[in-house]
A = this chain, B = another copy of it.
Amino acid sequence: MTSSRLEAFSDGVLAIIITVMVLGLAVPKGASWTDLVHTSGLGLLTYVLSFVYIGIYWNNHHHLFQLRPVVDGAVLWANLHLLLWLSLYPFTTAWLTQTRVAEVPTVVYGLNLLGAAIAYMVLQQTIAHRPGGARIRAAFGRDLKGVISPILYLIGIGLAFVQPWIGLVPFVAVAVIWLVPDRRVERYLNAQGPLGEAADDEEDPA
């Protein structure tokens, strides 16, 4: 069973999530710069943040399935489980925006981010433990980013109880950390060599 249809379906869901969030952006009643900033400014910022998260998941998902894992029922459901968490982003993003970053909505947004991160780890582990998963485990090696992300989400959730805006800082930090996509896989596919901790710069020889 190949992964092509799982990828196509996931692409569809992610494409829709990334796009429907824009439907949640309130269009200003007035026609001035002030109206734009007041009505839509915060919404645009949270939109871009959630867009980046979905983009990160799409990139990593793309890299993960480049490894051509075995796709069976367990992988299909682990993937749907991830998509379920991601599909809630438009909802939690809208609540965060409409309450102008209040305490509980920030915590809920963080829990949504954390849930998706855990679901991605579950998907990765499910794939790594199918037949032939040794190859995939080798491609991952030490998953530093994957370990740091949920910790940062937890810190953000904790800080949100103190001051919601400060809680957003670790969330944004995760986005920044992941903006560089998963080079481990690219490197493995290109080199098939041992995985060191070499610099992840843009000039990787292809």
1/0 per residue, CB under 8 A from B, across A82-94: the answer is 0110011011001
Is there an interface contact between A102 and B16, defined as CB atoms closer than 8 Å? no
What's the tally of chain A residues with a CB closer than 8 Å to chain B?
Answer: 68
Q: How far is the CA of A130 from the CA of B36 in the complex (A)?
A: 39
Is there an interface contact between A87 and B131, defined as CB atoms closer than 8 Å? no
**Dominant secondary structure at the A interface:** helix
Nearest Cβ on chain B to A9's Cβ, whole angstroms: 5
Chain B residue contacts of A150, Cβ below 8 A: none
Is there an interface contact between A31 and B104, defined as CB atoms closer than 8 Å? yes
Interface residues of A in 1-55 (CB under 8 A from B): 1, 5-9, 11-20, 22-23, 25, 27-33, 36, 40, 48, 51, 55
A105 is an interface residue with CB less than 8 A from chain B: yes
A140 is an interface residue with CB less than 8 A from chain B: no
Q: How far is the CA of A94 from the CA of B189 in the complex (A)?
A: 45
Nearest Cβ on chain B to A71's Cβ, whole angstroms: 9
Chain B residue contacts of A58, Cβ below 8 A: 9, 80
Name A9's contact: one of B14, B28, B66, B80 (CB within 8 Å).
B14
1/0 per residue, CB under 8 A from B, across A166-195: the answer is 000000000000011101001001000000
Interface residues of A in 60-92 (CB under 8 A from B): 62, 66, 70, 72-74, 76-77, 80, 83-84, 87-88, 90-91
Is there an interface contact between B73 and A31, defined as CB atoms closer than 8 Å? no
Chain B residue contacts of A181, Cβ below 8 A: 73, 76-77
Q: How far is the CA of A206 from the CA of B66 in the complex (A)?
A: 20
Q: How far is the CA of A40 from the CA of B91 in the complex (A)?
A: 10
Q: How far is the CA of A18 from the CA of B82 in the complex (A)?
A: 13
Chain B residue contacts of A80, Cβ below 8 A: 51, 55, 58-59
Pairs A–B under 8 Å by Cβ, sample size 6: A8-B11, A16-B20, A51-B80, A51-B84, A73-B180, A74-B202
